[in-house]
Structure 1
Amino acid sequence: MADSTAELLDMADRIGLDRRHLQHAGTGREHFDICLSRRARAVAAGAVEITMRDMARMRRERRHT
């Protein structure tokens, strides 16, 4: 999850994800499913870990903006 598609794709590039694995492209549910080793790379590259509750709150907030 990211603030923009560009930001999400930039992180995917930095941690070695193939862009074709982007799920729900162009929607508020846009994301990549990643394994734990890639998750560790993402966190090392500046990603912030969030809980499912945090994600649900952020999605609700996006819908209302």
Structure 2
Amino acid sequence: MVAATGRPIILGACGVSIVVDGLIASHRVYYDQLELATQLGANLCFGAVNCDLGPDGEWTNRPSTT
């Protein structure tokens, strides 16, 4: 969980709509997830690594068991 700070987040995004017969059939929003996580102060883990919040409140990485 990330605690609220009240600070604004500035994030670029792009919306793409698919139009069929004059109606929007689907809509997707693309944005930089790493940029958002960085601004939120979140810790991200990629690949074969699991992240755990240790007893000292610090993030530790351990090898994946799967």
- With the length of structure 2 as denominator, give the TM-score of the two structures: 0.25
Q: Which entry has the higher C-alpha Rg, 1 or 2?
A: 2
- With the length of structure 1 as denominator, give the TM-score of the two structures: 0.26
Bigger RCO of structures 1 and 2 (CA < 8 A, at least 6 apart): 1
